[in-house]
Amino acid sequence: MFFEKFRMDGQVAVITGGGRGIGLSCAEALAEAGARIVIIDRDDAVAESGRQALATKGVQADKYVLDVTDSAAVDKAAADIFARHGRIDVLVANAGIARTGARAEDTPDELWLNVNDVNYNGVFWCNRAFGKYMLKAGRGAIVNIGSMSGYIANRPQFQTYYNASKAAVHHLTASLAAEWADRGVRVNAVAPTYIETEMTRNIVDRSMMDVWIRDTPMGRMGQPHEIASVVHFLSCDASSLLTGATVKADGGFTIW
Ligand code: NDP
């Protein structure tokens, strides 16, 4: 009875930024639970590499190339994917970008707009577009990928634009959850600590990472699969009473 709640057989799960990193790990987790997977990514090569990585594990995923900042294209993607698969049960709004280094007072408009466009606007466009199909079906689960940076100000790097975009994702999650709770659609979020992906590999020098690890009660960074298992829980019936929650998967970082 209890383990059955973790199964997702026959469901269709759409994962933005699913070609690599945390998104790809989420795809693997939901596929293992029985869901049919649609990987969305901005770059066809990244989407295809994710699709092939899943294929080596016996998962036949679909892929769709989309920039989540283009709201009209997001609407079209939802329509196309629904036409192709006949249902949309789960959305993992994971696509996001991190930029660091500009102090708040020196932040160029383009940097602020770009980070918020992907991390915040893109999440809303996807929630709105895919959520409509779930509302029509009277059932669905959305998981938005926020960040512990929505709760804390990171150090030693400066990234006000990123932190603010992720705090906005958490409150967007709660607001949508309140609107859609009595119509069968749950909306939750995950707030990860630093996770070892290309995102963190690209922006760090070793000394920065040392500060992160020192500031983490568990004394380490996380792995993509440790976020994917939380996303799985929030996507399936095991979390049937959760909506509007942001689950911190942060190794204790926000305790200190
Ligand atoms: P990665 O950079 O490894 O993967 C992100 C994926 O999203 C990439 O494939 C990227 O494609 C895609 N993407 C970026 N912008 C868009 C867009 N406009 N439209 C469609 N796809 C896009 O990142 P992670 O796996 O590390 O991060 C995933 C999520 O987790 C992000 O929201 C991030 O903010 C969040 N997070 C990550 C943490 C970490 O430490 N790694 C910590 C806390 C939260 P492309 O290659 O074209 O950029």
Does the predicted model carry a pTM greater than 0.75?
yes
* Residue from 197, 212, 216 to probe ligand 1 pocket by mutation (most atoms less than 8 Å from CB): 197
Residue 162 alpha carbon, nearest atom of ligand 1: 34
Percent of the chain scoring above 70 in pLDDT: 99
**Does pLDDT of 203 surpass 80?**
no
Supply the residues annotated as catalytic: 162
Average pLDDT in the 160-180 region?
A: 98
**Band of pLDDT at residue 207, cut at 50, 70 and 90:** confident
Q: Answer positive or negative: Cα dihedral of 209, 204, 151, 26.
A: negative
Percentage of the chain modeled with pLDDT above 90: 95
CA–CA separation, 255 and 8 (whole Å): 33
Task: Render the burial of 190-213: b for 16+ CB within 10 Å, e for the rest.
Answer: bbbbbbebebbeeebeeebeeebe
Q: Residue 204: what pLDDT? A: 66
Burial group, residue 137, by CB count within 10 angstroms (0-12, 13-18, 19+): middle
Write down the pLDDT at residue 1: 87
What letter represents residue 101's amino acid?
A: G
Beta bridge partners of 70: none
Give the pLDDT band of residue 250 (cuts 50, 70, 90): very high
C-alpha 119 to ligand 1 mean position (Å): 9
Distance CA 175, CA 167 (A): 13
DSSP string, 87-155: ---EEEE----------GGG--HHHHHHHHIIIIIHHHHHHHHHHHHHHHHT-EEEEEE--GGGTS--S
Burial 227-242 (b: 16+ CB within 10 A, else e): bbebbbbbbbebbeee
Work out the average pLDDT over 180-202: 96
- Does 11 have pLDDT greater than 70? yes
CA-nearest residue, atom 7 of ligand 1: 17
How many Cα neighbours within 13 Å face the side chain of 118? 19
Residue 51 has pLDDT above 90, yes or no: yes
Strands 12-16 and 140-145: unpaired
pLDDT digits (tens, 9 = 90+) for 56-88: 999 999 999 999 999 999 999 999 999 999 999
Cα-to-centroid distance, 27 and ligand 1 (Å): 14
Q: 182 alpha carbon to ligand 1 midpoint, in Å?
A: 31
Question: To which residue do tokens 């970082």 refer?
Answer: 253
Strand-pair category, 140-145 with 185-192: parallel
Q: Is the peptide bond before 217 cis (omega within 30 degrees of 0)?
A: no
Q: What is the atom index within ligand 1 of the atom nearest the CA of 46?
A: 9
Q: Please work out whether the CB of residue 250 comes within 6 Å of at least one atom of ligand 1.
A: no
Is a pLDDT exceeding 80 seen at residue 205? Answer: no
Cβ 188 under 6 angstroms from ligand 1: no
| DSSP conformation letters of 225-242 | HHHHHHHHHHHSGGGTT-
The answer, yes or no, to whether any atom of ligand 1 lies below 6 A from the CB of 41, is yes
For residues 212 and 194, the answer to whether their CB atoms sit within 8 Å is yes
Give me the pLDDT at residue 64, please: 98
67 touches ligand 1 (CB under 6 Å): yes
Residue located nearest, by CA, to atom 32 of ligand 1: 96
Nearest C-alpha to atom 6 of ligand 1 is from which residue? 17
The per-residue pLDDT for range 79-116, each reduced to its tens digit, is 999 999 999 999 999 999 998 889 999 999 999 999 99
Across 206-222, average pLDDT:
95
Has residue 129 got a pLDDT over 70?
yes
Amino acid sitting at position 75: D
**Residues sharing a CB contact under 8 Å with residue 3, sequence separation 6 or more, in sequence order:** none
